[in-house]
Chains A and B, each alone.
Chain A
Amino acid sequence: MAMEQPANALHLKPQPRSERRRKALIGIMQRWQLYVLLLPTLAYLFIFQYYPMYGAQIAFKRYNVVAGIWESPWVGFDHFTRFFNSYDFWMIMRNTIGLSLYELIASFPMPIILALSLNYVRTQLIKKSVQMITYAPYFISVVVMVGMLMQFMDPRTGFINQLLGAFSIGPINFMAESSMFKSIFVWSAVWQNTGFACIIYLAALAGIDPTLHEAGVVDGASKLQRIWHIDLPGILPIAVVLLILNTGQMLNIGFEKVFLMQNPLNLSTSEIIDTYVYKVGLLSQAANFSFATAIGLFKSVVSLILLLTVNTIAKRAGQSSLW
């Protein structure tokens, strides 16, 4: 006891700042090999993630290639106001928000329904086959996906129009109909992603305590009642987290696919923020890096706000949240 006393007292005494710093340094020195392993990750983060964030300041400047990022003159919020006042602004916002909401609403419940349905299949072979089939489209590339859409919907040779022709409807040039663009985009995405997205729900369903189901069966609950009272509450936490994540990604509605599906005839419904940025910033003859950066930055900020808002709402409602 007596021996321990001084040691304890020594330990409790607040260390001077330099002492703590020295210890931290020793800690780092001892683990230097770990930092070497971490180095490529840090290098990547700084070069391709954080340096571009520093470069994003050209949104507030009149960027000049010769002067560079730092030396270009400041213009404040000029590019932003120019975008908000531009003729295209409301069309682009309407398309971006409309398309992303449509996709969110259409694609969110599908994997849940599929997972619930698969969960009640007793024959393993059937379950595995359906899973195998529904995952497959996930691995098709965007280019091939759009290529397939164009082949199927071709006014002359596509099988959809040939089918409609049998009922003497059409031919309809689907890809050129601006009113059809959103539906084609969203439902082809549902076709492609539902199977893969349901994996995570199947895992959550497998994690539900089987005694709950046994108790339900003993009490005479029907399968529908068990779905409603056992399965759905069981997957609710993961569903909420996914909904939050999807909302945060809402405005990032696959630029790649939209861009490939675009043509001059459907532009009035298919022009979204990302495709506009690409055209203004890189495609156009008088490429305006600053203006395009400002629009991109605007989108990133809105996305972040959306994510934070939904997360807060979920937290207030007593649901699972990201943090």
Chain B
Amino acid sequence: MRTTAIKDSLSDRVFTLLNGAFLLLVSVLVLYPLLYIVSASFSSPSAVLAGKVWLWPVEPTLRGYAAVFEYKRVWSGFANSIFYTGVGTLINVAITITGAYALSRKDLRGRSLVMMLCVFTMLFHAGLIPVYLVVKDLGLLDTRWSLILPTALAVWNLIIARTFFQVTIPDALLEASQIDGCTDFKFFFRIVLPLSAPIIAVLCLFYAVGHWNQYFQAMLYLRNPELYPLQMVLRDILVRNEVDASLITDVRVAAERDGLRQLLKYALIVVASVPVLVIYPFVQKHFVKGVMIGSLKG
């Protein structure tokens, strides 16, 4: 804060010191596990097994990554996840933006009723099984659409986008266009859309991260392993410990094989998280913006 005019008292200086120490501790606690994983993924299998890795890679090697790249299921999972994230996000954003814009218009009759319908879904859920039955009845089970359509819209994001339109699109703009004979479609596509780049960025990020990290729906609706997104493949390898043994049979020594298996896991964690973590510093401010808009009229 702006306290430069007055010299800090002793207690304030102690506070600043302790505060700094606290933040340092927090940063280390958050950062260390992440750093450990990256370092372990670059270390030799025997070093990982023997617990020699503490901070930096020990006996650096890329064998973990080589094992990941030879793993066919990881690749098909990656391709599937890219598809689900791309198509899913496109549909999400299209539905959210159009619906949110319509609901932001004061001259839309029945809009408070629709808003109530939306908010109620956030308070009350039908539950897992009834939704499953709908997906089943629509014939979506075991198709790619089962990961896209049931989550085609997140009501929370709809409300965020609606608030954005209410705040940023002035009524005068609409009135002026209407006097000039502009239809609602034209106004939406020619004027509103070009003005809504920030909210589209925020929505893309929220939805895309959701799709990329999603495994639960795949577990519910998919039986065919060829359709599995990356997270399902990760679950088998990381959580259920099902590593395809054929990949590491050429390694004779049991201990070595065991170490390679651990190495594969560390490398896999890095590979799976990198796409999100790499774009994250660039989009951090958008996420922050999204949370702020949401808090305007939560």
Interface residues of A (CB under 8 A from B): 24, 27-28, 31, 33-38, 40-42, 44-45, 47-53, 55-56, 58, 69, 114, 117-118, 120-122, 126, 129-130, 132-137, 139-144, 146-148, 150-152, 156-157, 159, 162, 165, 191, 195-196, 199-200, 203-204, 210, 213-214, 217-218, 220, 222-224, 238, 241, 245, 248, 255-256, 260, 274, 277-278, 281-282, 289, 292-293, 296-297, 299-300, 303-304, 307
By a CB distance below 8 angstroms, the chain B residues around A148 are 33, 37, 269
Inside 8 A of A300's CB, which chain B residues have their CB?
124-127
In the complex, are the beta carbons of A157 and B108 less than 8 A apart?
no
Q: Which of B12, B29, B215, B237 contacts A141 (CB 8 A)?
A: B215
Within 230-285 of B, Cβ neighbours of A (below 8 Å) are at 231, 234-235, 237-239, 262, 265-266, 269, 272-273, 276-277, 280-281, 284
Q: A163: nearest residue on chain B (CB-CB)?
A: B51
Q: Are A40 and B95 in contact (CB under 8 A)?
A: yes
Partner of B131, one of A48, A58, A150, A151: A48
| Per-residue interface assignment for chain B, residues 125 to 159, with 1 indicating a CB less than 8 Å from any chain A CB and 0 otherwise | 11111111110001000000000011011000010
Using A38-B98, A132-B284, A136-B30 as known contacts, say yes or no to A56 and B130 having CB atoms under 8 A apart.
Answer: yes
- Show 21 A/B contacts (Cβ-Cβ < 8 Å), sorted by A: A33-B184, A33-B185, A34-B102, A34-B105, A40-B99, A41-B98, A48-B131, A55-B126, A55-B130, A114-B26, A120-B15, A141-B213, A143-B239, A151-B238, A204-B295, A210-B1, A223-B15, A260-B239, A274-B128, A277-B129, A297-B126
B98 to A, closest residue via Cβ: A37
* Interface pairs A-B: 10 shortest CB-CB: A296-B127, A147-B238, A41-B99, A141-B213, A162-B51, A52-B126, A52-B130, A33-B184, A55-B130, A38-B102
Interface string of B161-201 (1 = CB under 8 A from A): 00000000000000000000001110010000000000000
B108 pairs with A297, CB closer than 8 A: no
Report B-chain residues with C-beta under 8 Å of the C-beta of A152: 33, 36
What separation, in Å, do the CA atoms of A171 and B194 have in the docked complex? 59
Asked whether B23 lies within 8 Å of A130 as measured between CB atoms, the reply is yes
Interface centre among A38, A58, A133, A150 (most CB of B within 10 A): A38
B42 contacts A by Cβ under 8 Å: no
Q: Is B3 an interface residue (CB 8 A)?
A: yes
Residues of B close to A24: CB separation below 8 A: 109
Residues of B contacting A143 with CB < 8 Å?
Answer: 213, 215, 231, 234-235, 238-239
Q: Does B107 contact A (CB under 8 A)?
A: yes
Which residues of chain A come closer than 8 Å to B295, judged between CB atoms?
Answer: 200, 203-204, 238
User: Contact: B124 with A120, CB < 8 Å?
Assistant: no
Task: Give CA–CA (A122, B16) in the complex, Å.
Answer: 10
> Which residues of chain B are within 8 angstroms of A220 by Cβ–Cβ distance?
9
Interface residues of B in 1-51 (CB under 8 A from A): 1-3, 6, 9, 11-12, 15-16, 19-20, 22-23, 26-27, 29-31, 33-34, 36-37, 48-49, 51
Residue of B nearest to A131 (CB): B284
User: Contact at A150–B239, with CB atoms within 8 Å?
Assistant: yes
Tell me the complex Cα distance, A217–B7, Å. Answer: 10
**A51 in contact with B98 given A120-B16, A203-B295, A256-B216 (CB within 8 Å):** no
A45 to B118, Cβ gap below 8 A? yes
Residues of A within 8 A of B102 (CB): 34-35, 37-38, 41
Q: Considering the complex, give the chain A residue whose CB is closest to the CB of B270.
A: A144
Residues of A within 8 A of B126 (CB): 49, 52-53, 55-56, 296-297, 300
- Please report the C-alpha to C-alpha distance between residue A204 and residue B296 in the assembled complex, in whole angstroms: 10
User: A134-B30, A238-B295 given. 18 additional CB < 8 A pairs?
Assistant: A27-B109, A37-B185, A40-B95, A40-B99, A117-B23, A133-B27, A140-B273, A146-B238, A150-B239, A151-B238, A157-B262, A159-B36, A159-B54, A199-B287, A222-B15, A223-B11, A299-B127, A304-B123
* CB pair B128 A31 closer than 8 Å: no
User: If A37-B98, A238-B295 touch, does A296 touch B129 (CB 8 Å cutoff)?
Assistant: yes
Asked if residues A141 and B130 are in contact (CB atoms below 8 Å), the reply is no
A279 shortest CB reach to chain B, Å = 11
